[in-house]
Structure 1
Amino acid sequence: MKICIFGAGAIGGFMGAKLAQAGADVSLVARGPHLAAMQENGLTLLQEGQDPLTVPVTASESADALGPQDYVIVTLKAHSVPAVVDKMQPLIGEHTTVVSGVNGVPWWYFHKLGGPFEGTRLASVDPGNVQWDGFGPDRVLGCVVYPAAEVVQPGTIKHIEGNRFSLGEPDGSKSERALALSHALAAAGLRAPVRPRIRDEIWVKLWGNLSFNPISALTHATLDVLCTDPGTRAVARGMMVEAQQIAEKLGVKFPIDVDRRIDGGAAVGAHRTSMWQDLDMGRPMEIDALVCAVQELGALTQTPTPTLDTVSALVQLRGRVAGLYG
C-alpha cells in the first residue's frame, strides 16, 4: 500500500512520522526549509513523555518524483487545495483514493448524500469545480482530523494531543478501501474508525471552527475566555444555532447540544485558534471553508443566518485589511 501525504506540515507530518515508524510505504509532499530539513535529517516527532523520534522519510516538493499512489491524504488548508489539484495529478492512478483531511465544509459534501441537493457543487470551497473535476468525487474518502500538532522548527513536529482520524465514505458504506486505510493507520498507533455518518462528525467539529475561529481572530481572546465571556459566548451560540438549523435540514444528527459544545471549547483552556494564529503569522486565513461555506449552505436551504452573516462580514474585512484574505 502506497500512501502519500500532500501538505506534510504539522498534522500531515505527525501522521507521516507515525506511518514511517510503523514501516508503511509513505511519502510526504512539502516545501521550503521544512522539506529541506526532512530530506537531510529525517522527520523528528516530539511526544510528551517519550524520547524524540527521528525517522527517515521520502519527501519531495514535486509529485512527479513519487508516481501513482493507493491513497493521497490531503492535509492542506482548504483554500490551498484548488491551486494544487493539477500538481497532484501524477499521484493519481486508476484506483487512487483521495482522503480529504481538510477542515470545514468539504467540496464533496453533496456527493452520494441523496435528496434534493445531490451533486450540488459548493463555490465557496471549490471555485470553478476544480476539485470536483480534477479529482472526481468517486475517489474521495472523508476524514475528520482531531490531533493537534505544530511545526516547532523545520523537520520537527511537536504532537500536542489527540490521535484520531475518523474516516467515512460519502455514501456511508464500510468499503474495502476505508477499512484497509483504517487498518494501516491503526498499525501506526493512530485511531481511525470508519464512520457510517461522517458528515455528523464534520459538523460537530465545524460547529466550533465556524464560531470560535472568527471570534478569536476578531477579539484575540483564547478559547477559555471567549466561551465564558457572556457577550462572546452569546455570539458563538447564535452562530452555532444557525448552523445546526442548516445541518439538520441536510439530515445531520448532532450527538450533543450547543451549550455542551461551547463548554467543551472552554475546557480546552487558553488556546489560540488556528485562524487567529494565521492572522498573527501573516498566513492566508481559512475563512471560506469555515464560515462562508456555511452561509452558502444557509442560502441553499433557505435558512436565515444573521449572526453568521455579521461575524463573517467582520472577519472577512479583518482579513482583507491584513492582506490575508480575498
Structure 2
Amino acid sequence: MKICIFGSGAIGAFMGVRLHQAGAEVSLVARGAHLAAMRERGVRLLAQDEDTVVRPRCTDNAAELGPQDYVIIALKAHSVPAAVPSIQPLLGPDTAVVTAVNGIPYWYFHKTGGAFEGRRLETIDPGGAQWDGFGPERAIGCVVYPATEVVEPGVIQHIYGDKFPLGEPDGSTSARVSALSEAMAAGGLRAPVLERIRDEIWLKLWGNLCFNPISALTHATLEVICADPGTRAVAKAMMLEAQAIAERIGVRFRVDVERRINGAGAVGAHKTSMLQDLERGRPMEIDALLSVVQEMGRLVGVATPSIDVVLALVRQRGEVAGLYTRPHPAAAEPTPAVAAQ
C-alpha cells in the first residue's frame, strides 16, 4: 500500500509514523527546516512511554513519488487549493484523496442527493480548484481529533488522541476505505468507518467555528471562554445558527449544545489553533471554519447574525496581522440576512 502524506507537519508526520509502523510504503511531502531534519535524522515521535524514530521517504517534490494508492492531505485548509497542481503527479486512475483537514471539505455536496447535489463551495474551494483538480469521486472524508505539535524540526510531540474517523461521501463501506481503516488500525490509530461522516465533520466544526475566532479576538483559553457568561453566550448563539444550517441539510447532532460547550471547557487552559497561529504569525484558518458556514447559511436560507459579526471581526483581525486574505468577493461580502425558516 503506497500512501503519500501531503503536508507533513504535526498531524501529517504523526500519521506517517503510525502508517510506516504498520508496514505501509509511506512518503512525506514537507518543506523547510522540518523537511531537512526528517531527511537527515528521520521522523522522531515523542509520546507517552515512547520515543520512536522512523525513516519514511521525505521530499518537497511530489513528482518524484509517482502515483499512490492514497494521498492524505494534511495541510491547513486554506493552503489546499494552491497545492492542487503539486498533488497531480500523485494521482493515478484509482488514487483516493483523503481530506484530513479542518472544517467543511471541498466534496461536501458530492453524493448527498437532493437540491444541493454537486454544489461547490466558493469560500473553501475558489473556482472549483479541488473539485476539478482531484474530482469528488476520489474523496474519502477524515476527521482529525488528535493533538500534536512540532516541538523542533523533525520531532513530533503527541499530546493526546488517536482517533481519525473515515467515511465515503455516499456512506458506503467500500474496499478502499476499509483497507485504509485497517492500515491505520495496524499502526495503533482508531479509524472507524462511519456511514454518516458529515455528522462527525459537523460535530468537530461545531466547536471550532466559535471557539477559534473568539479566542483569536480575546486571546482567552477554552476554559475562560466557556466559563465567562458573555463569551459562552456568543459561542452558543453561533453554534445554534450552525446547527440550524446543518440540520437543514440532513445532519444529526448526537450531543446538545450545552454538552458540547462543557466538553470544550473541560479541556482546560488550552489555546485554540487559530490563537496559536495568530501568536506565531502563521496564516489563520478562517474560511474553512467560519466563512463556509456563512456561505451554507445563505444557501439554505438560515440567517447567521452572530456568525456574521464574529466573522467580520476575526477577518479584520487576521488582515491587520497580515495573516489572512479574504476569499473571492462573491463569496466573501455580506448579503442581507434572511429570516430563519
- The answer to whether TM tops 0.5 is yes
Aligned to 2:282: 283
Number of equivalences: 325
1:49 deviates by 2.5
Aligned to 1:31: 31
1:23 deviates by 2.3
1:262 deviates by 0.2
Aligned to 1:21: 21
Correspondence 1:241 to 2:249: no
1:125 deviates by 0.2
Whole-angstrom distance in 2 between the partners of 1:48 and 1:231: 37
Aligned to 1:53: 52
Aligned to 1:216: 215
1:187 deviates by 0.6
Aligned to 1:263: 262
Please give the per-residue CA displacement for 1:113-144, whole angstroms capped at 9, x wherever unaligned: 11101000000000010000000000000000
Matched AA of 2:277 = D
Please give the per-residue CA displacement for 1:185-242, whole angstroms capped at 9, x wherever unaligned: 0011111100000000000000010000000000000001101100000000000000
Correspondence 1:126 to 2:125: yes
Partner SS, residue 289 of structure 1: helix
The TM-score normalised by the length of structure 2 is 0.95
Whole-angstrom distance in 2 between the partners of 1:144 and 1:219: 27
Partner SS, residue 184 of structure 1: helix
Contact 2:149 2:157 in 1 (8 A): yes
Aligned to 1:6: 6
- Root-mean-square deviation (CA, aligned residues, Å) is 0.6
Please give the per-residue CA displacement for 1:263-312, whole angstroms capped at 9, x wherever unaligned: 00001010000000111111110000100000000000010000000000
Partner SS, residue 190 of structure 2: coil
Whole-angstrom distance in 2 between the partners of 1:11 and 1:140: 19
Partner SS, residue 268 of structure 1: coil
Partner SS, residue 142 of structure 1: strand
Aligned to 1:65: 64
Whole-angstrom distance in 1 between the partners of 2:245 and 2:20: 40
Whole-angstrom distance in 2 between the partners of 1:243 and 1:315: 17
Aligned to 1:179: 178
Aligned to 2:43: 43
Which runs of no fewer than 5 residues in structure 2 stay unpaired?
A: 326-341
Whole-angstrom distance in 1 between the partners of 2:172 and 2:127: 29
Contact 2:110 2:136 in 1 (8 A): yes
Taking every aligned residue pair, what percent have the same amino acid on both sides?
Answer: 67
1:107 deviates by 1.0
Aligned to 2:92: 93
Whole-angstrom distance in 1 between the partners of 2:226 and 2:117: 36
Aligned to 1:142: 141
Whole-angstrom distance in 2 between the partners of 1:56 and 1:87: 23
Matched AA of 1:166 = P
> Moved runs in structure 1, 4+ residues, more than 2 A?
none
Whole-angstrom distance in 2 between the partners of 1:31 and 1:307: 38
Aligned to 1:231: 230
Matched AA of 1:115 = G
Partner SS, residue 79 of structure 1: helix
Whole-angstrom distance in 2 between the partners of 1:120 and 1:62: 32
Whole-angstrom distance in 1 between the partners of 2:76 and 2:82: 11
Whole-angstrom distance in 1 between the partners of 2:103 and 2:69: 25
Whole-angstrom distance in 2 between the partners of 1:76 and 1:118: 26
Whole-angstrom distance in 1 between the partners of 2:6 and 2:274: 21
1:18 deviates by 1.1
1:83 deviates by 0.4
Matched AA of 2:106 = W
Contact 2:222 2:268 in 1 (8 A): yes
Whole-angstrom distance in 2 between the partners of 1:174 and 1:22: 21
Which runs of no fewer than 5 residues in structure 1 stay unpaired?
A: none
Aligned to 1:190: 189
Whole-angstrom distance in 1 between the partners of 2:17 and 2:179: 19
Q: Which moved more, 1:293-302 or 1:16-25?
A: 16-25
Contact 2:22 2:184 in 1 (8 A): no
Matched AA of 1:34 = H
Whole-angstrom distance in 2 between the partners of 1:153 and 1:240: 36
Whole-angstrom distance in 2 between the partners of 1:140 and 1:123: 18
Whole-angstrom distance in 1 between the partners of 2:54 and 2:125: 35
Matched AA of 1:7 = G
Whole-angstrom distance in 2 between the partners of 1:203 and 1:275: 18
Partner SS, residue 73 of structure 1: strand
